Amino acid sequence: MGFCCYVAVVILFPLFLSIAFWNITRVEIEAEIPYFNDKDFFFVSLESSTNRSSQFLLNLATAKSSFPQFSQRVRDGSNLEYDFYRDTCPEAEAIVRSAIARVYFDHREVAPALLRLFFHDCFIQGCDASVLLDDNDGDKNRSSEKQAIPNQTLRGFDKIDMIKEEVEQTCPGVVSCADILALATRDAVLLAGGPFYPVLTGRRDSHQSFFEEATNQIPRPDSNVTHTLHLFSLRGFNERETVSLLGGHNIGKIGCDFIQTRLYNFEGTGQPDPSIPPDFLLQMKLNCPENKNTSTNDFSEFIVSKRVSSSHSDFGMSYMQALSSSVSSGAAFDTHYYKSLLRGKGLLFADQQLMAEERTARLVSAYASDDGSTFRMDFARVMLKMSNLDVLTGLEGQVRLNCSLPVSS
Ligand SMILES: *[C@@H]1O[C@H](CO)[C@@H](O)[C@H](O)[C@H]1NC(C)=O
Ligand SMILES: *[C@@H]1O[C@H](CO)[C@@H](O)[C@H](O)[C@H]1NC(C)=O
Ligand SMILES: *[C@@H]1O[C@H](CO)[C@@H](O)[C@H](O)[C@H]1NC(C)=O
Ligand SMILES: *[C@@H]1O[C@H](CO)[C@@H](O)[C@H](O)[C@H]1NC(C)=O
Ligand SMILES: *[C@@H]1O[C@H](CO)[C@@H](O)[C@H](O)[C@H]1NC(C)=O
Ligand SMILES: *[C@@H]1O[C@H](CO)[C@@H](O)[C@H](O)[C@H]1NC(C)=O
Ligand SMILES: *[C@@H]1O[C@H](CO)[C@@H](O)[C@H](O)[C@H]1NC(C)=O
């Protein structure tokens, strides 16, 4: 199949699949929940608003009221349902939404932070807020995900704690941390210019954290494409979903710690990754000077202690920066991630590896080749799918009172 045909297929694909997709995720709600795409008034007016905070809240309210079916009881295969808290805590979603809007306007980085946090949570034993648990053994025994994945890469715990506290004041012991994280992530992605997707609720929180899984099953920044696709497939994501999910790197910075080895000691050679274009290598090195202290032995920082020197971990580079020298930067949640990869300007080795295999490279080209609507539609879908991964519902798990601590039975 030639490239042009492939592009046509990719563009038409969502139309063909708009019903079939729901089968894949076992969601039986296609008739009830309309899919929002970026052509929606909902998103467009958000973009053009001067006071994005109030406009955001207004638009969400309008979107909800103009789709009455949204308030109907809908369930999917995961036993989550739309507006699960409508009787027990009707204010829950609004509290999350306004808290995130407040945080966002002072801390834009909350959007990529929550996206990452949520991704890590869902990838390890499902979206059960296990990533939020503190090590209950003090600092001596590294048994929590929070420690396994150091918070040089994960932030936003404090924001979730803050929202949880607000929700607890209104409805004590009702709304799970897992739902708060799922909702807060969606709202933050939307504020950052990402697409809207409906978040079903009713998740319960886990009793425990999963250290071993955290270190072994999270895709690594130095993974080759085969390995990345394999790890995503273990969670049920196909190639297309994997490529669209990695598009989350459109926003936020990639920490220098994840780039260092590529720049200064690629695969133990003491040299940079030869596939980085020379001018881009220079640009990357300027943003991420060599840190002699960084252990170059293969991302052992994945399992270092959670106390991380803040000085270094704040350094990083964004995909907007990667492309800005050659392309004027538009909205943040668009195709610039994929355009960067097409030019060999991937920041992580794992990102650039998407170009190393034909199947994934074609998807990258396809996403880069339109105004971003194909990517945004796919991203919304894959986020919805990820939000429902292996959730605990009903009587499983618990509802934590403090997201850092399990409730002892
Ligand atoms: C998809 O779901 C519909 C309705 O639930 C069903 O009729 C159809 O056979 C399913 N298709 C596949 C491929 O599973
Ligand atoms: C935006 O709207 C919110 C809510 O109406 C208001 O509290 C805030 O002061 C406004 N911000 C600006 C910059 O006008
Ligand atoms: C850490 O906790 C695990 C599981 O609770 C236990 O098996 C292990 O022995 C502990 N390690 C240390 C060093 O205490
Ligand atoms: C890391 O997490 C701990 C709580 O587990 C928090 O106190 C600390 O501020 C975090 N550090 C950073 C740099 O986010
Ligand atoms: C990709 O990475 C995996 C795991 O690290 C390794 O086993 C495999 O040989 C690598 N494949 C290629 C083509 O380099
Ligand atoms: C390297 O680590 C040492 C000791 O941990 C510290 O004193 C020094 O400031 C670090 N250097 C850099 C460049 O981070
Ligand atoms: C939640 O638990 C953490 C860890 O024990 C503690 O530091 C924090 O103050 C608690 N938060 C609330 C609101 O009680």
pLDDT in tens, 356-393: 999 999 999 999 998 888 999 899 989 989 999 999 99
pTM for the whole structure: 0.72
Which ligand does the CA of 216 lie closest to?
5
Least confident residue range of 64-68, 70-74, 169-173, 255-259: 70-74
Give one word for 193, left, alpha or beta, with left for phi > 0 and alpha for psi -120 to 50. Answer: left
Is residue 306 in contact with ligand 4, taking CB distance under 6 Å?
Answer: yes
Helix (H) or strand (E) holding 379, with range, is: helix 373-387
Nearest partner of 300 among 231, 376, 244, 220, judged by Cα: 220
Nearest partner of 351 among 269, 264, 284, 270, judged by Cα: 284
- Answer with the residue of higher pLDDT: 337 or 157: 337
Ligand 2 shell residues, CB under 6 Å: 51, 53-54
Nearest partner of 230 among 50, 357, 393, judged by Cα: 357
Residue nearest to atom 6 of ligand 6 (CA): 293
Rounded to the nearest angstrom, the distance between the alpha carbon of 135 and the centre of ligand 7 is 12
Ligand 3 shell residues, CB under 6 Å: 141, 143
User: With 50 as the cut, is the pLDDT of residue 150 above it?
Assistant: no
End-to-end Cα, the chain, rounded Å: 59
Rounded to the nearest angstrom, the distance between the alpha carbon of 97 and the centre of ligand 2 is 15
In this prediction, residues 269-276 reach a mean pLDDT of: 93
In this prediction, residues 307-311 reach a mean pLDDT of: 34
In this prediction, residues 281-302 reach a mean pLDDT of: 65
Gap between the Cα atoms of 409 and 398, Å rounded: 10
Ligand 7 shell residues, CB under 6 Å: 134, 165, 402, 404-405
Q: What is the DSSP secondary-structure string of 165-181?
A: HHHHHHSTTTS-HHHHH
Rounded to the nearest angstrom, the distance between the alpha carbon of 329 and the centre of ligand 6 is 36
- What's the chain's average pLDDT? 75
Least confident residue range of 85-94, 116-125, 151-160, 397-406: 151-160
Q: What would the pLDDT profile of 111-128 be if each residue is shown by its tens digit?
A: 888 998 899 889 888 899
- Answer with the residue of higher pLDDT: 71 or 7: 7
The CA radius of gyration of the chain, in Å to the nearest whole number, is 21
Residue nearest to atom 5 of ligand 2 (CA): 54
Gap between the Cα atoms of 317 and 273, Å rounded: 17
Q: Which of 107, 120, 227, 312 is catalytic?
A: 120
- What 8-state DSSP symbol labels residue 81? B
Q: What is the pLDDT of residue 221?
A: 86
User: With 70 as the cut, is the pLDDT of residue 232 above it?
Assistant: yes
Token pair listed for 275: 């596939």
Tokens 């995900």 correspond to 145
Gap between the Cα atoms of 341 and 25, Å rounded: 29
- Fill in the amino acid letter for 170: T
Rounded to the nearest angstrom, the distance between the alpha carbon of 130 and the centre of ligand 3 is 18
Least confident residue range of 43-52, 177-186, 195-204: 43-52
120 among known catalytic residues:
yes
* Mutation pick for ligand 3 pocket among 135, 140, 143 (CB with most ligand atoms within 8 Å): 143
In this prediction, residues 229-244 reach a mean pLDDT of: 94
